[in-house]
């Protein structure tokens, strides 16, 4: 009988050890999976640390550049205006072919000023979105004559591109809200 008691006691200890080892094995596998799933590599840490794009700051810069643009228009400064564009910019005026490149844009502005004088210009951003490389701006404009009388209102879409560490106009298109002049 004592043999039966020892055998039964051994069996209970054996079952307990199997249960303990199974529990420890499950715990160990869970711990390994937890660590493996949460392991951060150097590249993923770098992505998390990467600064986010500051669109509000870019908008302030573009608002400032728009004020400079308006000031240059009122002075008739075609050279200064052309410097606000990327080297491969496109300027798209109503009823005119697309003007491409800084030099051609400078000539286009010089021709506009020769034909119409130097109006006052106020640009107002109404919407903006983008990335650290390219921003889309939607806005409205108001032109005034030398006496300050409003002569035209309109809207525009500009693409701003980061070039040499500065925001520059990359694509510029606008059109008037005024009715088209009657054809003759």
Mean pLDDT, rounded, for 82-86: 98
What CATH number corresponds to the domain at position 131? 3.10.450.50
Between 72 and 26, residue with greater pLDDT: 72
Residue 125 placed within a domain: yes
- On whether both 9 and 71 belong to a single domain, the answer is no
In which order are the strands placed within the sheet that holds 166-176? 99-100, 85-92, 166-176, 150-163, 134-144, 120-130
- Give DSSP secondary structure letters for 30-61: HHHHHHHHHPPPHHHHHHHHSPPP-HHHHHHH
- On whether both 34 and 13 belong to a single domain, the answer is yes
- On whether both 161 and 112 belong to a single domain, the answer is yes
Q: What is the DSSP letter of 98?
A: P
Residue 183 placed within a domain: no
Give, in order, the Cα–Cα distances in Å from 5 to each of 12, 13, 64. 11, 12, 93
Cα separation, 69 vs 72, whole angstroms: 5
Structural domains of the chain, count: 2
| Residue 134 β-bridge partners | 161
- On whether both 150 and 79 belong to a single domain, the answer is yes
- On whether both 91 and 140 belong to a single domain, the answer is yes
Q: Where are the alpha helices (DSSP H) in the chain?
A: 2-38, 42-49, 55-75, 78-82, 102-116
Asked whether the whole model's pTM tops 0.75, one would answer no
Question: In 3-state terms, what secondary structure has residue 81?
Answer: helix
Kindly report, residue by residue over 120-159, the tens digit of the pLDDT: 999 999 999 999 999 999 999 999 998 999 999 999 999 9
Domain that includes residue 91, residue range: 55-176
């Amino acid at each position: 009988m004592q043999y039966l008691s020892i055998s039964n006691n051994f069996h209970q200890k054996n079952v307990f050890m199997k249960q303990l080892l199974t529990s420890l094995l499950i715990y160990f596998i869970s711990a390994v999976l937890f660590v493996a799933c949460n392991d951060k590599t150097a590249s993923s840490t770098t992505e998390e640390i990467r600064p986010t794009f500051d669109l509000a700051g870019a908008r302030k810069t573009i608002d400032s550049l728009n004020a400079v643009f308006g000031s240059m228009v009122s002075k008739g400064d075609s050279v200064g205006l052309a410097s606000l564009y990327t080297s491969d910019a496109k300027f798209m005026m109503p009823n005119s072919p697309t003007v491409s490149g800084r030099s051609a844009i400078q000539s286009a502005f010089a021709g506009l000023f020769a034909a119409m004088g130097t109006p006052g210009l106020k640009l107002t951003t109404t919407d903006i979105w983008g990335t650290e490389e390219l921003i889309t701006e939607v806005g409205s404009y108001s032109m005034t004559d030398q006496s300050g009388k409003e002569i035209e209102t309109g809207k525009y879409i500009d693409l701003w591109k980061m070039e040499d560490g500065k925001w520059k106009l990359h694509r510029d298109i606008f059109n008037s809200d005024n009715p088209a002049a009657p054809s003759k």
